[in-house]
Chains A and B, each alone.
Chain A
Amino acid sequence: MMQSIHNRELVAFHGGNFPIRGTYHRASNEQAGVQKPGRLGVIFLNSLSLPRTATGDSSAEWADALAECGYPCFRVDLPGLGDSEGDLPADLLSYINGGGFAPAASSVAKEITERFDLAGVVLVGHCAGAVSAVLAAAKASECKGLILMDVYFHLPQAVRPKFRQYLSNWALKSAPGRMASNLYDRLRRLRLRVQANRLPENANLPLLRCWKQVASSGQPILMLKAPARKAIGTKARVGEFDYLQYALKTAGPQSQVIVKFAEGTDHSFANRLGRAAVRQEMGSWLEAFFPAACPAGKGTVSPISGSPVRARPSKEVVVMTSSST
């Protein structure tokens, strides 16, 4: 069996008892034999239990596009996920939220930096993968930037009681259910105000501490947000604690956090609009903060060949950079 085709190569990293499997997308300048010093790699982490290709193979497409623009990209399967061996706890979500994958992710970041002679890496995570990315970034000095897609800072219930599931379905599917849901939202908003907007009990405090540590250090961070049910733009749903605003406040004056809202997509970012938006935003952000990696004449991430879809202009909701603060 061959280990590489076109710009892709199968790679393995040290992962304790078993190797961590991954796919390396060689940068276009590397293939041409031109390697600029100080270049950065981009590592894509698994989203929850998905294999390293992600929904609709979107991660593979993004990695191809960024590699074309000069950034070596790595999609890895963390231990027990995808093609990597390893035991997983039955409650995977709690394991991830508790930082279960952070040691492996930071160890991979270190190994990739050394093995591929990089100046550092940018970690990319989606949903639960974004949680692992923040927790790993706090441990790995090799991590120079973060791209977080629909990151969350609370501890969701892994398995909701049957009655709650039934109630949610009723609220979604019927008109009286929707009215009851709106009323419930307003009551929750009232409660939030009474509690003076303090952090909810299910806040992931260790994660918020890591976030503060990483963001306040001035590390560039791109946060991408997809439309969510009953939420407008990046604002939280009525009655829900606005973790994003909280995270931005705690990031401090040195932070370089950019939040972008990707319209027309869903939580997976895997439809054509979502893919195009992510590709465009990641490319522009990398060029702005880590331009050394871009080869001459390849300043922008081009749309995938044959694809007529271009991203809708994302709404830049919050920009916190050292220059603007």
Chain B
Amino acid sequence: MKSPEYVSDHKSLSLLEEPGYLEFPGAQLYAVLHSTPHPLARVLLTGPFASERQNSYLPWVRWARYLAARGMEVLRYDYRGVGESPGRFEEMTFKDWREDVQLLAEWLANRTPALPLILHGLEIGALLATHCFEAGMADAMLLWSPPSSANQALRSTLLRWAGLEQLLKPDAERTTAADYIRQLEQGSAVEVEGYRWSPQLWQESFDWKMPAGFRELHQETGQGNRAVRIVDLPRKAAPLVKGGFVGYDEVKNFDWLFTEEASWIAARAADCLEVRR
């Protein structure tokens, strides 16, 4: 029998991974610290929206390990009310989740202030990271598939989910994405992939946007002081981005993406250390 092809991100590397809860005033956050003996930089990973977490978890964790194996100390976490972090999802706001990014960035930066701090956000995490970066946090930032607004991200999640729902239901029971949006706009909550979206969350999502001109300003550079790199991931990057079927049964190799992105992070970390010297 042919032996299966294994997807590995940590060939013979002894990685130190420490999961735990971090307590801040008003929030307890589940986080996993991927340590490395002599880190070159610290990277805070800010993940996608709640409904996308479960699908992207496997490659997201592997990305954290990939970076740790290349000398980065990485912190990943669950937003409050999501995953392992306690709290009721429907009571949370984008402001809470933006505060999570700030609290963790500060926590990470304070561990060894001499090392550069790099933010890396995916989807809504990219939006939240950008707001913190604009406020002066971190030395560089990598964004994967940032939406123009939180509403755009919610809308695309809703469209995909409603589409799948429609496929599985008889004609009489089908509810379209437009119907769900109408419900939200009329003040009713909607359940999407097990999360209850409140009408407040929907309304608030319109206000969380990429700062005007931010994408254009940083599209080409990706170098220099407080560098920013923006990458729109292709469909083949699913399940890191939306695409394909929910319930992924294929463990993908993401080396085609990780190699270049990790190199960019390492180069920016080296730039920052050089400037500090």
List residues of chain A with CB under 8 Å of any chain B CB: 1-6, 8, 10, 21, 23, 48-51, 53-58, 60, 80-83, 85, 87-95, 127-128, 158-159, 169, 172-173, 229, 266-268, 270-272, 275, 306
Dominant SS among interface residues on chain B: mixed
Query: How many B residues face the partner with a CB closer than 8 A?
Result: 46
User: Are B84 and A90 neighbours in the complex by a CB distance under 8 Å?
Assistant: no
Interface string of B134-150 (1 = CB under 8 A from A): 00000000000000000
Residues of A within 8 A of B6 (CB): 87-90
Interface string of B1-26 (1 = CB under 8 A from A): 00011111010000101111111000
Closest residue of B by beta carbon distance from A270: B194
| Chain B CB within 10 A, most for which of A6, A55, A271 | A55
Residues of B within 8 A of A54 (CB): 54
Residues of A within 8 A of B195 (CB): 56-57
User: Are A92 and B250 neighbours in the complex by a CB distance under 8 Å?
Assistant: yes
B194 partner, pick from A48, A93, A95, A271, beta carbons under 8 A? A271
| Bound complex: CA A266 to CA B246 (Å) | 13
User: Are B83 and A89 neighbours in the complex by a CB distance under 8 Å?
Assistant: no
Identify 19 new A-B residue pairs, CB closer than 8 A, beyond the known A3-B21, A5-B21, A5-B23: A2-B20, A2-B21, A21-B19, A48-B248, A50-B57, A51-B57, A51-B83, A54-B54, A57-B82, A58-B194, A81-B58, A85-B65, A89-B7, A90-B6, A90-B7, A91-B4, A159-B250, A272-B191, A306-B88
Given A57-B82, A81-B58, A83-B19: A268 touches B194 (CB 8 Å cut-off) = yes
User: Are B18 and A1 neighbours in the complex by a CB distance under 8 Å?
Assistant: yes
Residues of B within 8 A of A83 (CB): 17, 19, 32, 61
List residues of chain B with CB under 8 Å of any chain A CB: 4-8, 10, 15, 17-23, 28, 31-33, 51, 53-54, 57-58, 61, 65, 82-84, 86, 88-89, 165, 167-168, 191, 193-196, 247-253
| Bound complex: CA A73 to CA B20 (Å) | 18
Q: Tell me the minimal C-beta distance from B121 to chain A in angstroms.
A: 19
| Bound complex: CA A58 to CA B196 (Å) | 12
B10 partner, pick from A85, A90, A94, beta carbons under 8 A? A85
Closest residue of A by beta carbon distance from B165: A266
Residues of B within 8 A of A172 (CB): 167
User: Are B61 and A82 neighbours in the complex by a CB distance under 8 Å?
Assistant: yes
Residues of A within 8 A of B21 (CB): 1-5, 10
| Chain A CB within 10 A, most for which of B8, B17, B31, B251 | B251
Q: Which 5 A-B pairs have the closest CB atoms?
A: A56-B194, A1-B20, A270-B194, A89-B4, A93-B249
Closest residue of A by beta carbon distance from B91: A306
Q: Tell me the minimal C-beta distance from A309 to chain B in angstroms.
A: 10
